[in-house]
Each structure stands twice: as structure tokens, then as C-alpha cells.
Structure 1
Amino acid sequence: MTKPILKYVFCCILICSSIPLSHAQNDVQTLNTKVSVAGQMNAAKFSQLMRQGFKSVIVNRPDQEMGNAVKVSELRNIAENSQISVIYQPVSSGKISQTDILEFAKYYNELPKSILMICRSGAHSSALFHQAKSQGLLHE
């Protein structure tokens, strides 16, 4: 094999081997050692995730959003059975405000780690995290 192809194969192996299987199976993306994001949720999937060591949950998906299979009250009941706190911070699609970013940063800085953030696809939760981080609002 040529050197460029070997480099490509090596990079692919490195990337694939760095994804924890338990997270990949549950559609959870790790953003850093303290926070992960997940998309579409149901009670069974959430129950399984609560056994993976998360200490806090931030739900960014509005209860009334179309296609939402589980309300925050049900997630809260499941989490509290495992002594895990749930914060409900709904974020509207395409409308993350500075207030949302500041509110998230407050939760991030105060909640026990590791934190699982939930929205429809993980995109809004990721955006909240990255915007707060880029503004220097997160205490690492």
C-alpha cells in the first residue's frame, strides 16, 4: 500500500477504536469527559442510559415538539429512581438565544458530572455546549 492509503487506514482505525461501544450503541456522542448528548429518546433507552454512570440530565427537547415519544416528567421519574437529577431546559428549533446559553452554562457549572443532554437529534444540545464553551462560560 502507498503511504497516503496507509495513513488513511490508520486514521480510520484510530477513530473507530476511540468510540466507546456502549455509547455508539445508544446513539450517545461524548463532547468531553463531562458531557454527552443523545437524540430521540424513549423510556427503555433512557433507563439503559441511566445505568451508564450519568449523574445529571439536561433535557433540551420541548415536551410539545412533534414526534416526542417521552415527556420530561417520565424521564424525571426514571432518573430520580437512580438518584439522578433532571433539568428541563427546552430549546426551540433554530432559536438558541444568549439567555439559553447562559442558563445552560449555569447548569453545567453547578450539576454533578457527567451530564447527559437530550434533544431530538443531539444537535441543539451540542450547539448549546459549544457556544457556551466558545464564550468561556464553562468551568472545566
Structure 2
Amino acid sequence: MVNTALNSGQRAIDPQARIVAYQGRTSRGYRNMDLRPITDGFAVAPQILPEDVIAIRDAGYHSIICNRPDGEEYGQCSHSEIETAAREIGLEFKMLPIQSEIVTENAAAEFQDALQTLPGPILAYCRSGTRCTMLWSIVKFGELPPEVILQKTAEAGYDMSGLVAQLQEMQNR
């Protein structure tokens, strides 16, 4: 379990899951976020809010990727609200919406390009962080051994075993 009793700017890391609860300063006070590092330069998170970008910057991130389409859920803030807040404080922002569990070759190529060109560390978000983790796994497949992909994503709390098995099967055809 992650310690959520944090002082401003502190991180608590669950040694078994590497899940970071970060309590940081926002425009409305303090808020705990669920930042899940996959690597030193890349993390995923469930839906963030515009007021979270200050804490995201303070946690050391330089770029944000949104993988969640606008209007996916009632009451969800738009990516443009988060993008405006991020750019106002000097963070880069890239919108790469992915419909739930539908990743095209073009989307994977755009995600790969964003990972290579945006200043890091990078935080990617969607509704739960799963789509971001799927994209990362797809673009790193072939670059990293499958067991490393599975280990890093599992440590962040995501099971990519089914996806990696599919990628391996496609590779062996």
C-alpha cells in the first residue's frame, strides 16, 4: 500500500509495485496523484486534471502525452484544458487519443515519435493508464526483451502478458 500521508513535494514509492503517490502543490491546494513509473524517463497515470500540472512539473516531468479521447466519459475535462495549463508553466503537451484497446500502427508510430522527440521525463495519461502502458509496450517490443517489458509494466501495476503474447505470436508468423 502506498503511503498517502505525504508532505508537499514528497513521493512515496511502494517497493513492490513502484507506484508513486505524489502529493504536490496545485492551483487549488494539494492533491495526491497516481504516477506510475515504467522507466526513469517515462511514467503513466490515470486521468489528470489541469490543476495537477504544477505538481507534475514539480515531480520532474517535462512533457505530458494525452492518450484519452475527449468526451470519453461524462464530466471528463478536455485535453485542451490540461494542455493550456501545462504550456502556461513550460511543459510540452502532445495529444494522441487512442480508443480503448484499439491501437493502430499509425498511433504506435506517433507514440514512438513522441517518446523520441519530447523532452523527458514524460508522463502519459488516459482513463486508467492502461492504454499508455499498452502503447509503451508495443513500441518497446523488439527493442527490449519481452520479460523486461512484462517486469517493468507489472512493477507499475499493469499486466501486459496478453499483449506481449500477441506481439510474440505476430512476430513468429
**TMscore range, shorter length:** 0.7 to 0.9
Contact 2:51/2:85 (8 A) holds in 1:
no
Paired positions, count: 123
Contact 1:42/1:69 (8 A) holds in 2:
no
Looking at secondary structure, tell me which structure has more strand per residue: 2
Report SS of the residue matched to 1:101. Answer: helix
**What amino acid sits opposite 1:26 in the alignment?**
M
Deviation of 1:47 (Å): 3.6
Which residue of 2 is the match for residue 59 of structure 1?
66
Give structure 1 stretches of 5+ with no counterpart.
1-12
1:94-126 CA distance string (max 9 Å, x none): 111121111100110111010000100000000
When the two structures are superposed, what TM-score results if normalisation uses the length of structure 1?
Answer: 0.78
Report SS of the residue matched to 1:95. Answer: coil
Contact 2:54/2:89 (8 A) holds in 1:
no
Cα–Cα, structure 1 residues 86 and 114, in superposed 2: closer, same or farther, change >3 Å? same
Report SS of the residue matched to 1:64. Answer: coil
Which residue of 1 is the match for residue 33 of structure 2?
26
Deviation of 1:64 (Å): 1.9
1-structure distance, mates of 2:21, 2:70: 29
Which residue of 1 is the match for residue 16 of structure 2?
15
Percent sequence identity is 25
Cα–Cα, structure 1 residues 46 and 14, in superposed 2: closer, same or farther, change >3 Å? closer
**What amino acid sits opposite 2:117 in the alignment?**
E
Give the structure, 1 or 2, with the largest relative contact order (CA under 8 Å, sep 6 or more): 1
2-structure distance, mates of 1:119, 1:68: 14
Report SS of the residue matched to 1:80. Answer: helix
What is the alpha-carbon root mean square deviation over aligned residues?
A: 2.2
When the two structures are superposed, what TM-score results if normalisation uses the length of structure 2?
Answer: 0.64
Looking at secondary structure, tell me which structure has more helix per residue: 1
1-structure distance, mates of 2:130, 2:74: 16
Does 2:116 match 1:113?
no
Which residue of 2 is the match for residue 5 of structure 1?
none
**What amino acid sits opposite 2:16 in the alignment?**
I
Which residue of 2 is the match for residue 45 of structure 1?
52
